[in-house]
Amino acid sequence: MINHQDRLINAIGLSRYYSEHCAVNNVDVVLHKGEVLGLLGPNGAGKSTTMQMLTGNLSPSVGEIQINGIDLLDEPRNAKQQMGYLPEQPPVYRDLTVSEYLHYCARLRNVPAVQRKGAVATASERCGLQDVSKRLIGNLSKGFRQRVGIAQAILHNPAVVILDEPTVGLDPIQIREIRSLIRELGKEHGIILSTHILPEVQAVCDRVQILNHGKTVFNDTLEGVESLEKVFFDLIFREADSTHAEVVV
């Protein structure tokens, strides 16, 4: 069994099959506190499947996952309490105000009643939502809805925060704001950021893990790679004519 207590995520040998198709093939994912890991790759590389397994929404065909020392498959409820998750489409209720929605999420996350008001206030402040707390989520811009989605992921102060394509569809100003927020969150949490946008990884991540055809093809710190662009082009675009990869650079 895995036993690395210094790791917030320790996932070993993850594979996922859909009938005969292998979407993820023997992938390891390791995350430490204070680290922002970029899970990078073209569409169809296996990123979303990997994220679904790490969050407990999809069981691996093979492999082990520990979240902050807790086995996700053996103790899913306890393990999931250690993480916050923002899927590509934020799970917000448009007919609730920001405050109502975050209080609802706090109850779902089993935040004690006496701590809910403070937890919501802290998450709102960290995500810059104080001025819109009384507004209906459905009336907010997409950038603010993303902020609400991040707030629900961090309000129970999880060890791990997993973000799936958090800046897709945002304008340049909103993108800069969300990236700044992610960098700030990375100081206190372990963050996994899934993206197919190379500059996103360069802007906010400490380490990059590139997936292609369901396999890890590169894994290193940004300081440890002389030119991430060259690595990315060599690993991905040399196959673009056969895979038709969609990657933003």
Does residue 167 share a domain with residue 133? no
Do residues 186 and 125 both lie within one domain?
no
Q: How many structural domains compose the chain?
A: 2
Domain, as residue range, for 113: 90-157
Same domain assignment for residues 16 and 78:
yes
| CATH code, domain carrying 38 | 3.40.50.300
Rounded distance, CA 124 to CA 173, Å? Answer: 19
- If asked whether residues 165 and 243 sit together in one domain, one would say yes
Condensed to tens digits (0 to 9), the pLDDT of residues 21-59 reads 999 999 999 999 899 999 988 878 899 899 999 999 999
117 and 56 share one domain: no
Strand order of the β-sheet with 9-18 is 21-31, 9-18, 62-67, 70-71
- What pLDDT is recorded for position 5? 53
The answer to whether residues 11 and 33 belong to one domain is yes
Q: Kindly give the pairing relationship between strand 207-212 and strand 62-67.
A: unpaired
Token output for 78: 């306890």
Same domain, 120 and 135: yes
Task: Extract the tokens encoding 149.
Answer: 């989605």
Last residue of one domain, picked from the residues 142, 157, 172: 157
Average pLDDT score over the chain: 88
pLDDT digits (tens, 9 = 90+) for 126-163: 999 999 999 999 999 988 999 999 999 999 999 999 99
